[in-house]
Each structure stands twice: as C-alpha cells, then as structure tokens.
Structure 1
C-alpha cells in the first residue's frame, strides 16, 4: 500500500507537535484520520512554527500541518502512489483568483507490479474554498475580526466542505514500468514526456484524453477505471540506466533533455512529427543526474545537478562538456532551478 497523489494549495506554515508521537511509518491510517489528528494537535497545543535549519527535530517528534494555513486542502487518489505529476496548462485564463477552480494534470504511477502501471490524465473541477482576507493592519483589528468572524467562518467552512464537493475525471493510459518522472510541454501541453524505471524515455500525445476529460459532465463515470493502450510518439532506449531528470525547453518548442542515473544527458531535437535524439551524451558528471532545467532566457543553455554534488551549466552549441561546472555541495544536489526574475 502507499499514499495517493495529493494536490494542495499551501500558504506556508508547518507546525511541530509538542509531545512525543508514535512511529512515523504508519501508512495505513486514513487521510481523514490524519487531517483530524493534525488539527487536534494544532488546537490542543502548545505548538509552534518549525523553522528548518533552526529548530531540531527530536526523536519521535512528528511535523504536522496547520489546516488554517490553507485556503483549500484535499487529497485525490488516482489509484496507485505516484512519484511525479505535472500541471497541464489550459485555456481557461491566466488570472484565476476566484473559486471555484479547475485544473488539468498528468501523473505516473508506482504500482505493486510493473504491468499494472499507468499514466493518469485528469481534470479536477468544482474546487471550492474560502478566500483568505487581507492581513489586518493592527493587532486590535485582528483580534476583533477574529472574534466576530470565527463563528461565521466555521459555518462557511462546513458548508464548503459538505455541500460543494470537487469532481475528479480521470483517464488511464498504460505505461510499461514505474513512471519516475512526467513533464508536460509548455508550448503544446498535450505532449508529455515520461522517464520509466525500464530505462526508456517516451513522448506521448494525450490530446484525445485531455479533450475527453474536458467534455466530462458533473459525475465521474465507471469507464474512468479502464486502462487504455496508447502508442507513444517516440521511445528512446539509448540511456544505459533509468533516470529522473527531464525537462522541456520553454523557448524552443519540442526541445528536450533527459538525464540518467549513469551520469549521461541526451539532447532531443524535434523533427517534423518525431524527435532526433543525439546518441552522444553530454558528459561532465560522475554520478546520477538528478535534475535538469532549461534557461528561461537562453534557448541553448540548460543546467543540471547531480549526486556528485555539482551543478553544471551547458550550451548545446558547444562540445558536450559543461561550460561552467560548479562544486555546489559535499552531498547530493537533487534539484536545480533558474531565477526567473534576475537575468
């Protein structure tokens, strides 16, 4: 058994229980029980905000979320646990601040047996919550607002939770082996790439499945449980090992990089309706490539990070060596991201 895919919209607060807790490995507890126990822990106190790197986490202590830190929090299961998911861009507009919300996404499973794996193409709709009020200008205002609004807020929250339920529409597409990572292309969101534990990288066109869930009504159908067989647009088996690192270029439509646990990175270039994958890899890491990300401003430049503790900057126009190798840490570097506000 495992935990299902969950989506939430956090506002950032983590609370530490004051007392000792039971083992952290109990995965059989229902989500509802977990939510209620977390709420009880916060309410009963004493509790405080836990600061990573400042506060120590004692043996037996367990971090709990504060339900009041969220406008909306709910779990959605697509069946098996998922190692990766991605939000698929839609045509519903960029500025969406009012409830109810709708979003589209893709997720890949980690099933008990390899043949049971699939990719979930889904739509979440009728997502309702309570919009957070602006921060009060003074403590007096905050106290008075809290006293006057507490009862009405509780009633509103109960109505939101009980009367307005979110809707999940799901299409399942068979996938050979566990999906280590899945990414949707920015320019053509229905095109997705998956990294499998089989060592294969595949590119898919999920347009028909996204259209199907988009046209779905207010009730989920039984056929949502059917696992569909779908032929990928491209399968690359040139990696010598499985991997997790993969990223679409935000500037060059269809350009892709994939990195494996054998330290190799391959460049994918779009060619009419398929992709040409350079069989000669970029070489500069000495251990597993954990993450890749294209520059948001330079279409030929991408960054990588690795278990070897290095971050490398690459240019596809030069030799397949890093332009700038940086020893960033003595331990693994698992995630890399460009600053999109300072160029």
Structure 2
C-alpha cells in the first residue's frame, strides 16, 4: 500500500528556469551531448543534466498547484459540452490537501482556464476526392507552439480557486456523477463526509475575470452528513453511476459501509460488508448493475459484492501476490476490470470468467507500486496507469506485436535517442517529470485529456499519439 505524501511542503510557483518538467526524455546541459531516453530506477541524472520534455509528444501539457500537496482529486462534470475537442479548454475540479498540520487542510474547488495546445482532429476528415484533409490538424499557430514550453508556468491563479476548511488530511475525494456539486471525502481522522459545493462552483462559473473570490481565505461550511461509523481511517470510496447518491466507503479495518440516499441526507448501514482479511484499498461500482460493486484489498484479493445478497462477497479471487492498491471497472466494456498492486504489476480480468481463468493480460513493466489506474472513458481498450517510480503510462490492449513494424519503429527512434529495447507493444505513452505521482483521471468530456496529481503539483496532459474514435452524434 502506498498512500501518503512524504513530508508535505507548501507548493511554490515555478518559473521557466525550473528543473521540473513533464518529461518523457532527458538531455544534457552540454549542447554536444545527444538526447537519451531516461529510465526511472535505472538511470541517474549526472551533474549538469536535467529532465526535459519533448513538445512533439504532447498536444497539451500544463502544470498547476493548489498550495499544499494533494493525494486525491476529482474532475467535476460541467455543462460546457459532452464532447469537447477545440482549444482552449477549461476544466473544473475538487482536490483535498495533505498539509503539515491537521488544521491547515482544506478542499480546493478550482477552475483551470485557457488550456491551449495543438489543434488535432479526433478523426481525419476527408475531402470530396476521398483524400485525408488533415493538413490543418498537423499544424498549429505560433502562439500554440510558444505555449508548449510553459509547462512550469502555473495557469491556476488564486482567483480561480475557493477553499473550504477540512479538518485533517483528505485521503480521497469523489464528485457525484449525477450531481457534480455533491462531493464525498475520506479524512485521515476516520470519518467520511458529504459536501455541497453548489455556491463555490457557481462562483467560479460566473467569474470570467481575475476578480478575487476572497483571496486565500478559507471558508468554513458544515458538511451535509458526517459518518463516524468506521473504526479506522480509509481510502476507498465510490459513487454509484446508476443510482444517484448511492455510495460505498471502505476502511483500513477491512469493513465496507453502504450509503443510501434519503431526501437531503443519507442512511448509512451500520452493519458493514465483511470479507477481506486486511485493509480495503479501493472500491468501484458496476457501471451497469445498481447493486453490484467490486473491492480490492491488502490481502491480494478482488471481491465482487451484491448488496441484495447479504454482507459477504458474492465472489472473491486471488488477484495478486501483494497488496492490491487500485481497481478500475471498464465503463465501456463492463466485463473487464483492471487492478494494480504493490509489486508494480497490473492485470486485466474478464469478470465473466472469474470462476475459471479470468486473466486476460498481465504487465510487469513497472517496478514500483501502482498508485492509480483508470480506463479511458472514450476507448474501451485504453487505460492509464501511474506508479511510484514517477511514471504515468498509457496502454492500448488492442495492440499486438508486429515484428516488421516494430523493427522499423525501433530503428527510427534509435536515430533520435537510445530508447530501451524491451518496451511492451501495448505501451503507448510514458509521461515523466512529476515527483511522487498519486492519482490520475481522464476527463470525461475532453477526449484524451488526463490530469494527474503528485507531491509537486498537478499536470494536465494530452499525448499526441492517442487516437480517439467517437460515435457520430
């Protein structure tokens, strides 16, 4: 289990000379030295070297911070459009802090505006002659190119965020899909709270200027409900995508509690679901079944629960030999679930075959604990994975090894850098440069956009080699 951010310090703004970068490569400060791919855990930065990112690898790359380091955040669904492809972009989010003292913590409700980048069509358009008309998609304005070197220039200003006091560190925070202004938080003090951030989000939506929302003052509001029935702190929490307001929360004492919405509050079942032999690390509701959810645990198991059939698991499987830190249920292909564990491996299972051999894929490329895993909301075969070795990786399970094409690709990249030879064919992208990566989320409404939090702040990125095919509207 890897959760806490070590020695949290207030995040300071970085200028363009900073050595921090969203890097998938490194280069020496000596002009004559060739560029080389930097491998975490293997290569070391020598004196005079620094990590740099390749602008051509990204359609968009930006960084920002909310003050204290953040262990968990969520992207808030907005009303700006279900599928947005045109720059500039805007996103809303909620994030919880990991401050040095309990009383210094807060929930940040934020807006990131003017996210610019390279224009690229999701699918190449065709002209009347049947030829691909993608000339415009491969070019970008001088302004866009100039913007790409602004990774270390934060774009989140104080007037774009409001602060709500939260006693104790925020272990996890989740926004309700159907009512995004309602959020649930897990506190390291051992309680779960549900909040209403309607006024804060409305204030951010209505603000189109840099007018202040009260500076850095922290607002104190009462949660809608505070549940103290857990006997230990926890990190697992999830809203149902099927039943608005239905919630599950799991703790380090191996207990899971079900929350049922009731008028303007919740009725929390005091009798927990029990089946794991150790801490419940993550929870995920089924994307299609209102009564079914999955859990993973330090005991190495993934369990499937049906709330209609008692307080014991309907099915359990030994998924990993070490702590299972995170799971993700595929919302486009609901038979698939992904899990990541402490030894750096992650697996994909077919839930239809749990009583047989359900393992569809298993990857051991990453060598440090998996800290976050999430399926892409727009491509059923694609998922993103972060690990404690400071890598954010994107994988496409639909890809297969093509020896001829692979040899041609390796020859090409060998001309540019000394890339490793043992890259799995399903590995699409590697993002580096963030320190102590903790959580990532795909943006549900902006295809190919990922937001990730780490000890040194947030990155917003859109890799240039992803290809999202969306159904016609």
- TM-score, length of structure 2 as denominator length: 0.58
Change in Cα spacing, 1:284 to 1:65, as seen in structure 2 (3 Å) is farther
CA distance in 2, matches of 1:81, 1:104: 18
Q: Larger deviation: 32-41 or 209-218? A: 32-41
Question: Deviation of residue 67 (structure 1)?
Answer: 3.8
1:123 to 101, 107, 111: 111
8 Å Cα contact 2:224-2:265 kept in structure 1 = yes
- Give per-residue Cα distances to partners, 1:200-256, cap 9 Å, x unaligned: 100000000000111113215261311000100000000010000000000001000
Structure 1 residue 70: Cα displacement: 1.7
Question: What CA deviation, in whole Å up to 9, does each residue of 1:55-101 have, x standing for no partner?
Answer: x8426469875443222222211111110000000111112101011
Task: For 1:279 and 1:238, locate their aligned partners in 2 and report how far apart those are by CA, in whole Å.
Answer: 7
**How far off is 1:305 after superposition?**
0.3
Q: Note the C-alpha offset of 1:337.
A: 1.3
Structure 2 residue 290 is matched with structure 1 residue 299: yes
Preserved contact between residue 167 and residue 219 of structure 1 (Cα < 8 Å): no
Name structure 1 gaps, 5 residues minimum.
Answer: 6-26, 51-55, 137-144
2:195 paired with 1:216 = no
Per-residue displacement from partner, 1:3-53 (whole Å, max 9, x unpaired)? 778xxxxxxxxxxxxxxxxxxxxx998785224695882485442486xxx
Counterpart of 2:76 in structure 1 is 88
Q: Which residue of 2 aligns with 1:24?
A: none
Decide whether aligned partners of structure 1 residues 134 and 231 sit closer, same or farther in structure 2, where only a CA change above 3 A counts: closer
Contact 2:181 2:196 survives alignment (8 Å): yes
Map Cα deviations across residues 90-146 of structure 1 (whole Å, 9 max, x no partner).
11111210101111100000011000000000111111112247899xxxxxxxx9x
Match of 2:423 in 1: none
**Any unmatched runs of 5+ in structure 2?**
1-6, 125-134, 335-473
SS at match of 1:243: coil
Q: Report what 1:97 is aligned to.
A: 85
1:198 maps to 2:221: no
Q: Which residue of 1 aligns with 2:26?
A: 41
Per-residue deviation at 1:178?
A: 0.3
Structure 1 segment 246-257 matched on structure 2, within 5 A: 246-257=237-248
Tell me, yes or no, if the aligned pair for 1:305 and 1:336 is still in contact at 8 Å: yes
Distance in 2 between the 1:283 and 1:74 partners? 42
**What secondary structure sits across from 1:336 in the alignment?**
strand
Relative contact order higher in (CA < 8 Å, ≥ 6 apart):
2
Aligned residues of 2:85 and 2:121 also touching (Cα < 8 A):
no
Which of the numbers 318, 321, 338 marks the counterpart of 1:327?
318
Q: 1:289 to 1:96 in 2, by over 3 A?
A: same
Asked if 1:188 is matched to 2:179, the reply is yes
CA distance in 2, matches of 1:194, 1:244: 9
Q: Assess if the C-alpha contact under 8 Å between 1:4 and 1:78 holds in 2.
A: no
CA distance in 1 between counterparts of 2:61 and 2:297 reads 33
Q: Which has the larger share of helix? A: 1
CA shift in 2, pair 1:135/1:66, >3 Å: farther
1:37, 1:95 → 2: CA distance?
A: 26
Superposed CA RMSD in Å reads 3.2
The equivalent of 2:96 in structure 1 is 108
CA distance in 1, matches of 2:14, 2:244: 44
Residue of structure 1 aligned with 2:146, choices 140, 155, 158:
158
1:138-153 matches, cutoff 5 A = none
1:230 aligned residue:
221
The answer to whether the 8 Å contact 1:127/1:165 transfers is no
